[in-house]
Structure 1
Amino acid sequence: MSQDRPSSFYFKGVRFDNAVNLKALELVDSFEVRDDDVFISCYIKSGTTWTQQIVSLVCAEGDISEASKVLLQVRTPWLESLQASGGRLGVGEGVPRPILLKSAPSPRLMSTHLPYHLLPQQVRDGKGKIIYCARNVKDVVVSWHNMRRMMQHMTCGTWEENFQDFITPDLAFYGFWWDVIPEYWRHKDDGNLLFIKFEDLKRDLRGHVVKIANFLGKTLSDQRIDQVVANCTFSAMKENPATNYSRNPKLQKIFGKAEGSELEFVRKGEVGDWKNWFSAEENKILEAIHKEKMAGTDLTFEYE
């Protein structure tokens, strides 16, 4: 990474890493939404890749096994990034995706990590559809720490430093978890938003494939549903270079394994891995924040 390239920046009070493009962010609010647009939205490390895979295969025409081989960022481009040159996904020189998406054929599937209030105005007004996947905050902290260890364009502190960043509103990337998730939850009953949880996907993948298909108005045969499920298991996605970027030769410079470890972009996909990382004091601190910030909301999560 160039020494004069900042590792993070702020936009409308939200901190982003430099995989996000400022010009793209500036174009998002006025982005023209189509009725059949689908926005796959998740907080960082909360099931984005999984939800992208499910939605793209639910919407796929033809051979699902072939569709699954297409790079996920081609099937569901990241709205607030660049289509960069030289194979550097989201980092470097290129064209902001909102510009490229103007001429993309329908239906357009897009992924995003934006807080609800930074989504395109038209989708907030009810046009298009949003599928939002949330994950228990403890596992999010761990997964984000390991992502920072792996990403070549990001600075990474120790576990303790990254934990402190996460629980500090001004330092948290992509918004403060306890602001972002309740904001989406408040819109759970909007007609164009489906709110799902990572832990529920783990427990009932097939049921959620059906739920997502129904939300998108897709009628799938039992055989088709089985095919989608087979391509969306953790083991299938870990072995697939189109979803596990660490195994994609074109993307290994960005998503390569951390030196001396077996760390990969698709890592564990477990519920409860936080127990292997949190000290008793860190758990106490986070639970106190969680209790205070989630007071007044009926949103709950499973932690194991």
Structure 2
Amino acid sequence: MTTLRNAESYDSIDSTEMRILHALSTTGSLTQVAATLGLSQPAISQRLKRLEQRLAVPLIERQGRGVRLTPAGQILADHGRTVVAEIDAALAAIDDLRGDRGGVLRMAGFPSASATVIPRLMRMLQEQAPQVTFQYREQEPPEAIQLLRDGEVDCALVFQYSESEPLPTLFEFTPLWREEMWLVVPEERSQGMERAALSAFRDDQWIAGCTRCRGHLTRATKRHGFEPEIVQETDNMPASIAMVAAGNSVSMVPGLALAAQPTLPAGARALRLEEPEYRTIGLINVDTANESPAVKLAKRLLGNIDGSTWNLLTERVAR
């Protein structure tokens, strides 16, 4: 005849109690079980007592200085062996999804970061999360944000100028570093200059970068009373620097681009601006209540990179 059980009995055993009984079956000692599971001995005794009350059957009995399982306790311990193994396997799989031991981190980033920050991040991944597959796509910020919007990447390393439009509410921006902008000029134009004043180059021809960089250049020169005559355009910073060295144009170049190319071609010189211009480098991701393991991993690792290697100023406390 089938015995009907009340609703309370269906949830009368939890995984910790199964672990306790399984451990007792192999050790026979509450002290050793406590040490193995990281619980106090009184807490283990109380849990077993409450379980016995719920099941209305004794589970352990004294044997000399130790304890042994009753037949009912042994039944639970035998089944508990399988239950504990399944739970451990499930937790290991979840760890993989967290990115701590496996999974995929998909990231986009802008070109000058590709030669500086990204290789450092890749080394950290190899050291701290070697089972994580790193997928990277080089894109300027607008295109990187579109990849994020389309769900093709988990996060993107982007830059923002102070005048940039705020991000849509869909996204979260985590600032990492502040990057100084430099002026790269023909060597003969820099004679006697320690720093560059933008206004001193009002009559020069200019090289512009990506859409965001061009917008920033135009706004910066406007503050100094002139509109730049842009004659060349390229997103390729090494190419921009080479063009300066080859002709009479000047270019506003981010610090990371100079860090990636520490030796300038003959004929070009990099100068700090008298009135510094900056942009902020940070990580952007979709703003959700439950942040993905991949994004958490990227934030943790990037937050621990020392940007001073490339003359970047830290924008926040490292994680």
Q: TM-score, normalised by structure 1?
A: 0.25
Instruction: Kindly indicate whether structure 1 or structure 2 has the higher relative contact order, using CA contacts under 8 Å at least 6 residues apart.
Output: 1
Name the larger-Rg structure: 2
**Which one has a larger percent strand, Structure 1 or Structure 2?**
2
